[in-house]
């Protein structure tokens, strides 16, 4: 375990905001979490790769970061269970699974961040969510000061949420995650242009003959992401900034009417039982924000749901002001309240 004081966080948040934390603890084993000195500044907050966080200023407490990075497969009868340390990079796990011909997380390739945070946030992309494959989450319970194992089915996974973000917020520190993968041919191609992109890349016979591999799907997903999302190495962002709103049918009908009156065209949407999910990117784009900057913050020109550190010099206030103005526009035009996906710390 290492303890650092007055730590610059520029490299620990993918927005690349130049803020500091009073203290940072990097731990290597779950047992060390019991031995963290009580006198370190409060509050304590577990972080992963900092890819879904917005630091709203300097952090006055102690950040806890896992360096537990093992990937340990266990063959089960009908699937392969992989135990992974919370500090492993999520995409290293996706690459490992693809290299071993294992299905389950290939559509989640290229998502920045670490495995522990993936299980907390229920990361999702191209029709798959982490919660679909989480078998169990190994945690340190900060209340009872002991390790616990929580079954995936008990984590309350929903669209970009889990109990770790709600009633269990900041109680459990994830130390490892059990992920269920399979050797059975199981491509998931029904989201957006995934199928078309695979056909274009490998030819439709590959799909018809059942000759896809997790590696081929991974490669295609990575190329789709490259066309839409900024590379965190070049431009600071936290991926999608807002959740896609899920609204009532009446609210959706009102959005359709607004779109007709203002010439916005067809409203993209996904039916979700008696509710409807509308892409926040579309709402933001119709409000004229795509590619715009405000101070040092901006809206990415290829994906309106991604707020960026446009000049590299953004302060938390720049991002917060842009967030507020986008929310106000979408509220005024469509009567919909956008909620951030990115956690404000
Ligand atoms: N769209 C626009 N303008 C844009 C971008 C998109 O109108 O600038 C519309 C289009 O109609 C498009 C639809 O929005 O078909 C959906 O766009 P996209 O497929 O890019 O997905 P998204 O809903 O904007 C979500 C996730 C992403 C994930 C993609 C793919 C959330 C909050 N975001 O974005 O996750 O990669 O789907 O599955 O659910 C992230 O969480 O950081 C993230 C990048």
Domain CATH number, residue 52: 3.30.43.10
Catalytic annotation on 329?
no
Mean pLDDT value across the chain = 97
Residues 87 and 169 in one domain: yes
Residues 152-161 have pLDDT tens digits of 999 999 999 9
Q: Among 9-13, 138-142, 216-220, 229-233, which stretch is predicted with the lowest mean pLDDT?
A: 229-233
Catalytic annotation on 160?
yes
Catalytic annotation on 66?
no
Q: Is 285 in the pocket of ligand 1 (CB under 6 A)?
A: yes
Report the pLDDT averaged over residues 54-71: 98
Residues 249-263 have pLDDT tens digits of 999 999 999 999 999
| CA of residue 279 to ligand 1 center, whole Å | 6
Q: Dihedral angle at the C-alpha atoms of 295, 296, 300, 305, nearest 10 degrees?
A: -70
Whole-structure pTM value = 0.96
**139 within 8 A of 173, measured Cβ to Cβ:** yes
Choosing from 11, 38, 66, the residue where a domain stops is 66
What's residue 232's pLDDT? 83
| CA of residue 307 to ligand 1 center, whole Å | 13
What's residue 293's pLDDT? 98
Residues 307-333 have pLDDT tens digits of 999 999 999 999 999 999 999 999 999
- CATH of residue 209: 3.30.465.10
How many C-beta atoms lie closer than 10 Å to residue 233's C-beta?
Answer: 8
Q: State yes or no: pLDDT of 192 exceeds 90.
A: no
Q: Is 158 in the pocket of ligand 1 (CB under 6 A)?
A: no
Residue 262: DSSP 8-state: H
Confidence of residue 272 (pLDDT cuts 50, 70, 90): confident
Residues 102 and 146 in one domain: yes
Atom of ligand 1 nearest to the CA of 123: 41
Report the pLDDT averaged over residues 130-137: 98
Q: Residue 114 belongs to what domain range?
A: 69-228
What's residue 77's pLDDT? 84
Q: Measuring from atom 9 of ligand 1, which residue has the nearest CA?
A: 282
End-to-end CA distance of the chain: 23
Atom of ligand 1 nearest to the CA of 238: 42
Choosing from 228, 253, 269, the residue where a domain stops is 228
| CA of residue 243 to ligand 1 center, whole Å | 9
Choosing from 189, 206, 228, the residue where a domain stops is 228
What's residue 75's pLDDT? 83
Residues 212 and 103 in one domain: yes
Look at the chain and report how many structural domains it folds into. Answer: 3
Residues 104 and 133 in one domain: yes
Q: State yes or no: pLDDT of 76 exceeds 90.
A: no
Residues 224 and 244 in one domain: no
Residues 188 and 211 in one domain: yes
Q: State yes or no: pLDDT of 104 exceeds 90.
A: yes
* Alpha-carbon span 259 to 265, nearest angstrom: 6
* Alpha-carbon span 97 to 101, nearest angstrom: 6
Residues 163 and 73 in one domain: yes
Residues 83 and 213 in one domain: yes
Q: State yes or no: pLDDT of 233 exceeds 90.
A: no
Residues 60 and 140 in one domain: no
| CA of residue 230 to ligand 1 center, whole Å | 13
Question: In the block, which residue shows the tokens 């309350």?
Answer: 156
Question: In the block, which residue shows the tokens 């927005």?
Answer: 15
Residue 31: DSSP 8-state: G
Q: Is 243 in the pocket of ligand 1 (CB under 6 A)?
A: yes
Residues 195 and 102 in one domain: yes
Hey, which of 240, 304, 338 would you mutate to test ligand 1's pocket, going by the most ligand atoms within 8 Å of its Cβ?
240
**340 within 8 A of 52, measured Cβ to Cβ:** no
What's residue 78's pLDDT? 87
Q: Measuring from atom 29 of ligand 1, which residue has the nearest CA?
A: 125
* Alpha-carbon span 333 to 330, nearest angstrom: 5
Residues 307 and 181 in one domain: no
Report the pLDDT averaged over residues 172-187: 97
What's residue 60's pLDDT? 98
Q: Is 244 in the pocket of ligand 1 (CB under 6 A)?
A: yes
Report the pLDDT averaged over residues 23-37: 97
What's residue 39's pLDDT? 97
Residues 80 and 209 in one domain: yes
| CA of residue 73 to ligand 1 center, whole Å | 32
Report the pLDDT averaged over residues 61-66: 98
- CATH of residue 251: 3.90.78.10
Considering 216, 225, 240, 323, which one is annotated as catalytic?
240
Considering 16, 160, 180, 216, which one is annotated as catalytic?
160
Compare 192 and 291 and report the one with higher pLDDT. Answer: 291
* Alpha-carbon span 131 to 190, nearest angstrom: 18
| CA of residue 305 to ligand 1 center, whole Å | 7
């Amino acid at each position: 375990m290492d303890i650092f004081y007055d730590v610059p966080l520029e490299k620990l948040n993918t927005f690349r905001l130049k803020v500091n934390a009073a203290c940072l603890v990097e731990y290597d084993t779950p047992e060390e979490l019991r031995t963290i000195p009580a006198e370190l500044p409060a509050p304590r907050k577990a972080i992963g790769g900092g890819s879904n966080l917005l630091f709203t200023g300097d952090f006055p407490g102690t950040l806890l970061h896992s360096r537990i990075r093992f990937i340990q497969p266990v063959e089960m009868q009908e699937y392969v269970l992989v135990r992974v340390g919370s500090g492993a990079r999520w995409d290293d796990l996706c690459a490992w699974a693809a290299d071993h011909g294992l299905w389950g997380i290939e559509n989640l390739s290229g998502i920045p961040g670490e495995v522990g945070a993936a299980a907390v946030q229920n990361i999702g992309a191209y029709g798959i969510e982490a919660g679909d494959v989480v078998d169990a989450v190994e945690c340190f319970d900060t209340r009872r000061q002991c390790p616990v194992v929580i079954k995936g089915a008990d984590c309350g996974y929903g669209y970009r949420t889990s109990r770790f973000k709600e009633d269990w917020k900041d109680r459990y520190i994830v130390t490892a995650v059990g992920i269920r993968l399979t050797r059975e041919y199981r491509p998931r191609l029904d989201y957006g242009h995934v199928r078309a992109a695979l056909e274009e890349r490998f030819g439709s016979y590959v799909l018809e003959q059942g000759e896809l591999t997790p590696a081929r799907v991974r490669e295609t997903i990575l190329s789709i992401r490259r066309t839409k999302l900024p590379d965190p190495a070049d431009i600071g962002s936290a991926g999608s900034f807002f959740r896609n709103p899920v609204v009532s049918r009446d609210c959706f009908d009102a959005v359709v009417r607004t779109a007709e009156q203002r010439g916005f065209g067809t409203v993209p949407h996904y039916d979700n039982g008696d509710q409807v999910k509308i892409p926040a990117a579309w709402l933001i784009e119709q409000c004229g924000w795509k590619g715009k900057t405000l101070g040092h913050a901006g809206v990415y020109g290829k994906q309106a749901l991604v707020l960026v550190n446009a000049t590299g010099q953004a302060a938390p206030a720049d991002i917060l002001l842009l967030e507020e103005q986008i929310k106000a526009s979408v509220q005024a035009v469509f009567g919909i309240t956008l909620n951030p996906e990115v956690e404000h710390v």
